[in-house]
Amino acid sequence: MNVRKLLDDRLSDAFGSISKEPTPALVSPASRPEHGDYQANGAMALAKRLKTDPRALARDVVNAADLTGIVAKTEIAGPGFINLTLSRQFLTRTIVRPDLVAQVPQPDHIVIDYSSPNLAKTLHVGHLRSTVIGDATARTLEKLGHEVYRQNHVGDWGTPFGMLVTYLDELGQPTDDLSNLDQFYALASERFEKEPSFAERARKFVVDLQSGEKAALTRWKQFIDLSSAHMQHIYDRLNVSLTPNHIRGESAYNNDLAQVVSDLDKAGLLSLSDGAKCVFLEEFTGKEGRPLPMLVQKSDGGYLYHTSDLAALRYRHRILEADRILYFTDARQELHFRMLFAVAQASEFIPKSTKLEHHPFGKLLDGSGRPFRSRDGSAIPLDQLVDEALERARAVVKSKNSNLDDHEFDEVVRAVAIGAIKYADLSKNRVNDYTFDWDSMLAFDGNTAPYLQYAFARIQSLFARAKIDLKSYREDISLDNPNERSLAVQLCRFQETLELVGREAMPHHLCAYLYELTSRFMRFYETCPILDAHEKERASRLAVCAQTAKTLDTGLNCLGIQSVPRM
């Protein structure tokens, strides 16, 4: 249940009955425990408008609001804040609900375009943020019951592939191993630039490919399959939920591009500039106020990144019937997406009611504030990054000296390694640059994945010692101790947090939530006897623990992070 929304609805009704028009109650979680559990800040703005005393108004709102069975205590504080304390009965009822996450009444069709690397290169750290943040958002929206369409808009078409395939075929050795793809790519580009006859052969390949020549298509497909298998291998290692079914790359739109351009023309949007076809929209200007074009077809007839994106938008609208389309790329593509959305709407390729959202993120930096790269300045392949994470996690887990068997040990190492990489990224507000730091992400205390995973494992061991199966555990909850109550309040905020993440595509809210949950659990765990408590209290406390574990597990799952029963 979304408690914040419930309170907001009830109080907004009361505000509305007084002001005789829709008035937001502005309910948010209380900033401090002495302010109750939630607070409503709407009285100040309304009092200003009605020119009355905000405290008296707040009092009237509280009297008019239907909060029975939900709120035990209200208090008017300061200039007119309404502080709300949930009733014990409501807290326990909310906690013991069998379905932890309520499904949206009307699922949206949500397209999520993420990861989307270029298949001519090895998957490297530059693709990490889009992959991890997009995946967490997709999982969260799915958990809420939406119809999610993952779209891996890979770069799989154009000159780079002509260059690569020509190079590989002339190498005279089997090339079904692409672990050196970046090196191949660099050597192929070099020859492409320096050797006109090579460039010509590569271009011919692209022309053949574009005209649908069979042999070229087969060879191209062979290469793409190989490169995407490599990509899939890395997704699997990273526990990313993308599969080959989600790939719908630039090449998939190849046959639609001419139509896109002619439809832009029909919509009266096409201009010619130096022989190239482009769209000018008033709101886009470059240096000195000169109009900025969005190029859709070069003078040699070739199409561009924008063009396939327009075609992809139409597919997502017409075939996937998207209500919302989310794109996760770094902030440098901001202008591309602003223009894309504006042109898609101006041409009526997409109705105004479809929400188009670019969710940018900042750069990945190293400790000295430079782009995070390997020593020689090249981008670090993700495969290598995962290897290093596993190695470091192995040392960290080993130092815990738990008696895990080999198989369990490997499971824990994997969960900790992948969890650490993902969580460190996800826990920061994505719009900012983010500094990659092994030591802090693998720490067992602080806002890290291992800290949360450890708390989960601790609860499991509690249940193992109590000889109760956590999954089937349900009991009445009494919440007598303040630390126990504070944990319960946090448990009640899970739903509203997931909904916030889904709305804003900002997984750091979920991380902050889980961290707070874990901290409250630790305080409870350290101050309240559980297994040694009296019978009734013991049952109640175990129930709170069970719910905490379930929430942690589900929350981590939404982030694409595994929990483990023992650590």
Helix then strand then coil, in percent of the chain rounded to 5, is 55, 15, 30
218-231 exposure pattern, b = at least 16 Cβ within 10 A, e = fewer: ebbeebbebbbebb
The correct pick among 2, 137, 175, 329 for binding ligand ARG (CB under 6 A) is: 329
Using a CB cutoff of 8 Å and minimum separation of 24, what contacts does 528-531 make? 528/481, 528/483, 528/484, 530/462, 531/462, 531/465, 531/466
Is residue 361 at the binding interface for ligand ARG, with CB under 6 A as the rule?
Answer: no
Contact call for residues 328 and 112 (beta carbons, < 8 A): yes
Of residues 292 through 311, those in contact with ligand ARG by CB under 6 A are 309
Nearer to ligand ARG, 364 or 530 (CB): 364
Is residue 135 at the binding interface for ligand ARG, with CB under 6 A as the rule?
Answer: no
CA distances from 354 to 29, 142, 326 (A): 31, 19, 11
d(CA 390, CA 522): 27
Nearer to ligand ARG, 118 or 562 (CB): 118
Tokens of 562: 């595994």
Is residue 37 at the binding interface for ligand ARG, with CB under 6 A as the rule?
Answer: no
Is residue 118 at the binding interface for ligand ARG, with CB under 6 A as the rule?
Answer: yes
Tokens of 85: 């304390």
Choices 113-121, 168-176, 295-303, 496-504 (CB under 6 A): range interacting with ligand ARG: 113-121
Nearest approach, Cβ of residue 349 and ligand ARG (Å): 14
Strand partners, 110: 148, 324
Of residues 212 through 271, those in contact with ligand ARG by CB under 6 A are none
Question: Residue of minimal CB distance from ligand ARG?
Answer: 116
Nearer to ligand ARG, 114 or 494 (CB): 114
Is residue 153 at the binding interface for ligand ARG, with CB under 6 A as the rule?
Answer: yes
Nearer to ligand ARG, 112 or 206 (CB): 112
Nearer to ligand ARG, 35 or 246 (CB): 246
Nearest approach, Cβ of residue 31 and ligand ARG (Å): 38
The correct pick among 113, 142, 256, 553 for binding ligand ARG (CB under 6 A) is: 113
Number of H helices, E strands in the chain: 20, 13
127 — phi, psi (to 5°)?
Answer: -95, -5
d(CA 420, CA 441): 5
Give the count of residues interacting with ligand ARG (CB under 6 A): 10
Nearest approach, Cβ of residue 332 and ligand ARG (Å): 9
Is residue 8 at the binding interface for ligand ARG, with CB under 6 A as the rule?
Answer: no
Which stretches within 72-210 are classed as H helix?
Answer: 88-95, 128-143, 159-170, 181-194, 196-210
Contact call for residues 518 and 115 (beta carbons, < 8 A): no
Nearer to ligand ARG, 296 or 542 (CB): 296
SS3 (DSSP) at 143: helix
Nearest approach, Cβ of residue 273 and ligand ARG (Å): 23
Nearer to ligand ARG, 131 or 497 (CB): 131
Nearer to ligand ARG, 43 or 326 (CB): 326
Nearer to ligand ARG, 307 or 447 (CB): 307
Tokens of 328: 């996760």
Choices 38-46, 116-124, 214-222, 236-244 (CB under 6 A): range interacting with ligand ARG: 116-124
Nearer to ligand ARG, 94 or 329 (CB): 329
Residue 88 CB coordination number (10 Å):
15
Contact call for residues 307 and 257 (beta carbons, < 8 A): yes
Q: Residues with Cβ < 8 Å from 351, sequence gap 6 or more?
A: 317
Nearer to ligand ARG, 8 or 425 (CB): 425
Is residue 553 at the binding interface for ligand ARG, with CB under 6 A as the rule?
Answer: no
Nearest approach, Cβ of residue 376 and ligand ARG (Å): 22
Contact call for residues 372 and 365 (beta carbons, < 8 A): yes
SS3 (DSSP) at 238: coil
Choices 37-45, 109-117, 253-261, 276-284 (CB under 6 A): range interacting with ligand ARG: 109-117
Is residue 117 at the binding interface for ligand ARG, with CB under 6 A as the rule?
Answer: yes
The correct pick among 253, 327, 434, 463 for binding ligand ARG (CB under 6 A) is: 327
Choices 112-120, 218-226, 411-419, 448-456 (CB under 6 A): range interacting with ligand ARG: 112-120
Binding site for ligand ARG (CB under 6 A): 113, 116-118, 153, 155, 309, 312, 327, 329
